[in-house]
Amino acid sequence: MPEEIPKAVITDLDGTLTDERRRLNTRAVDTVRLLVDAGIPVIFASGNTLCSLTILCKMIGTDGTVICENGGLYRLGFNGEAHILGDIGLCRSAFHHLEEHFGEQGIELELYSPEYRFADVAFARTVDPAEVKSALAGFDVRVLDTGFAIHLQSHAISKGTAFRCVARDLGLDVSDFLAVGDSHNDKEMLRIAGIGIAVANCSDDVREAADLVTKEEYGDGFIEAVKAVFPSLS
């Protein structure tokens, strides 16, 4: 645990602020609002699209600073420029290869929101992620299995790389943040934050990346993490 209280919080959404059915944990939302009302910025970092996160930020009450598409895109505030870090062309080429690969088996892949994605490609988990990785061995892309979808992302891009950009643009360091997450795509973010906490529903490799693991799962784990780091918050 750091000696100084973090200046900001960065958190995953699915599996971290939700329950196992992807429904927002309303108590976790209340905790986000407590942080914001106390002057502590809260940044959402997700595999979701910018338009989805914009709606969530408005309804939950953050300032609109987000990391989207697993680090492929970030924005400061609702009116900020969308900075695209990922290579959508490379990801689309890899996906077309997958369509051919699985098409030979009679399997049709289901894309998620392609018209709203600018940095990565996301599709339904109807195929084995391990086979996806094997089929794309010749492509310079990362295959991310979030438990909710399979994502193709530029190899050098992650939530962690976008996190460094956001911290810099906010005039902060990543060490000034509490990071909370649960999935493989959160590992880099958890490692580089001042303190990284994984909620209890995480996998073993995520546990190894975190400084602490909560006793509670999902959104209740997020609440536990925040209370541990901000004991005066009520």
Instruction: Count CB neighbours of 1 within 10 A.
Output: 10
Q: Which two tokens stand for residue 93?
A: 């080429």
Asked if residue 234 belongs to a domain, the reply is no
Residue 13: φ, ψ to 5°? -110, -75
Note whether 166 and 71 are same-domain residues. Answer: yes
Q: Which pLDDT score, from 0 to 100, does residue 128 have? A: 96
Note whether 36 and 67 are same-domain residues. Answer: yes
DSSP class of residue 129 equals H
Note whether 162 and 77 are same-domain residues. Answer: yes
> Can 14 be counted among the known catalytic residues?
no
What is the C-alpha to C-alpha distance for residues 14 and 189, in angstroms, rounded to an integer?
15
What is the C-alpha to C-alpha distance for residues 232 and 234, in angstroms, rounded to an integer?
6
Q: Of 3, 166, 163, 135, nearest to 70 (Cα)?
A: 163
Q: For residue range 181-210, list pLDDT tens digits in order.
A: 999 899 999 999 999 999 999 989 999 999
Final residue belonging to a domain, choices 113, 132, 154:
154
Q: For residue range 5-29, list pLDDT tens digits in order.
A: 999 999 999 999 999 999 999 999 9
Q: Are 71 and 153 in contact (CB under 8 A)?
A: yes
Domain that holds residue 196: 8-85+157-229
Note whether 50 and 130 are same-domain residues. Answer: no
Final residue belonging to a domain, choices 154, 180, 199:
154
Final residue belonging to a domain, choices 107, 125, 154:
154
CATH number (domain holding residue 117):
3.90.1070.10
Note whether 147 and 79 are same-domain residues. Answer: no
Q: Are 54 and 66 in contact (CB under 8 A)?
A: yes
Q: Percent of the chain at pLDDT above 90?
A: 94
Note whether 98 and 146 are same-domain residues. Answer: yes
CATH number (domain holding residue 205):
3.40.50.1000
Q: Which residues 6+ apart lie within 8 Å of 67 measured at CB?
A: 10, 43, 44, 45, 46, 73, 74, 159, 162, 163, 166
Residue written as tokens 């600018």? 118
Asked if residue 2 belongs to a domain, the reply is no
Chain mean pLDDT for the chain? 95
Q: For residue range 150-183, list pLDDT tens digits in order.
A: 999 998 899 999 999 999 999 999 999 999 999 9
- Give the mean pLDDT of 86-108: 96
Asked if residue 24 belongs to a domain, the reply is yes
Structural domain total, the chain: 2
Secondary structure E strands in the chain: 8-11, 42-45, 66-68, 73-75, 82-84, 121-123, 141-145, 150-154, 177-181, 195-198, 212-213
Q: Which pLDDT score, from 0 to 100, does residue 232 have? A: 87
> pTM of this prediction?
0.93
Active site residue: 12, 14, 176, 182, which one?
Answer: 12
Note whether 81 and 167 are same-domain residues. Answer: yes
Note whether 165 and 75 are same-domain residues. Answer: yes
